[in-house]
Amino acid sequence: MSSDLSPIDRAKFVAAKRAASYVHSGMKVGLGTGSTAAWLVRCLGEMVRDEGLRIQGVPTSTRTAQLARDVGIEVISLDEAKWLDLTIDGADEYDVDLNLIKGGGGALLQEKIVATASDQMMVIADISKQVGMLGAFPLPIEVIPFGWQTTKTLVEETLISLDVLGTSSTLRMNGDTPFVTDEGNHILDLHLNRIGNARQLSLVLNQIPGVVENGLFIDICDVLVIGSADGKVEVRDINKGSTEEIQFDFLDDGNIFIEAAD
């Protein structure tokens, strides 16, 4: 199976496998959205099936909810859970301070709500998502459909006075129609190129009428798990100020990998 995976999928998979090791029976776990988070859900499903893991998962999208049910994870709502032990999700970009851009999958609103309702947020990613300064990836903002073009104009006018390089935005589409989030809203992707002051930008965007939430996750991520195609995984814990590395060895005998001894 390992030979069937692309290098990028190997990196995502080992990051997800390492993150899954932090999940224990009895936990309430936020389940992110996107291709990397999907690997995590599959890893947890394997643990449920093969190791007797018993957890309750709070998904951040209908797509994740369906996948979680398919692999045997008990799915509950955030209202039922009330508070979570851990949320594990991917990211579109991250910087050295573990600030993030998220929302490439269109689930940023639920992702942010779930992440902030957790004792800890863990992000799984590959090294290609690391940047010196946020902004190369278009910043998504969720806006209500009513008057979205007016909201778009207000956002672009506001961006002129902020520390960004670009001020244009585009309505995210799904084929020939606007993309619709699970909450029934639209997504505007802001093409900023560079964000000089992410904290200020986040606060200002959320004051614009029509904007529901933005994809900047500031001071939310606690632990970053970075996977590499060669099986190396680096874990950065911003609260402990620690970094650790482990190595997974890929096999060709049907098992995707084993964890190498230190």
List, for residues 166-191, the tens digit of each pLDDT value: 999 999 999 999 999 999 999 999 99
- Are the C-beta atoms of 167 and 118 separated by less than 8 Å? no
**Mean pLDDT of the 93-97 span:** 97
Rounded to two decimals, what is the model's pTM? Answer: 0.93
Q: Say how many CA atoms lie within 13 Å of 157 toward its Cβ.
A: 7
Q: Is 170 annotated as a binding-site member? A: no
User: CA–CA distance from 25 to each of 39, 55, 73, 129, 234 (Å)?
Assistant: 19, 5, 12, 31, 24
Same topology for domains 2-131+219-250 and 139-212, yes or no?
Answer: no
Contacts of 260 (CB under 8 A, 6+ apart): 231, 246, 247, 248, 249
Q: For the chain, which residues make up each domain, given as ranges?
A: 2-131+219-250, 139-212
Name the CATH topology of 2-131+219-250: Rossmann fold (3.40.50)
What is the percent of the chain with per-residue pLDDT over 90, rounded to a whole number?
Answer: 92
Q: Can you give the pLDDT at residue 255?
A: 52
Residue 87 has pLDDT above 60, yes or no: yes
Q: Is 92 annotated as a binding-site member? A: yes
Contacts of 176 (CB under 8 A, 6+ apart): none
Q: Is 91 annotated as a binding-site member? A: yes
Q: Is 152 annotated as a binding-site member? A: no
The Cβ of residue 170 has, within 10 Å, a number of other Cβ atoms equal to: 12
Instruction: Read off the tokens for 253.
Output: 């005998």
Domain 139-212: homologous superfamily in CATH: ACT domain (3.30.70.260)
Beta strands in the chain (DSSP E): 28-31, 56-59, 74-75, 86-89, 93-94, 100-101, 121-126, 139-143, 168-171, 173-174, 177-178, 186-191, 211-214, 216-217, 223-227, 232-237, 242-250, 257-259
Q: Can you give the pLDDT at residue 5?
A: 86
Q: Can you give the pLDDT at residue 261?
A: 38
**Mean pLDDT of the 11-35 span:** 97
| Catalytic sites, residue numbers | 111
Q: Is 116 annotated as a binding-site member? A: no
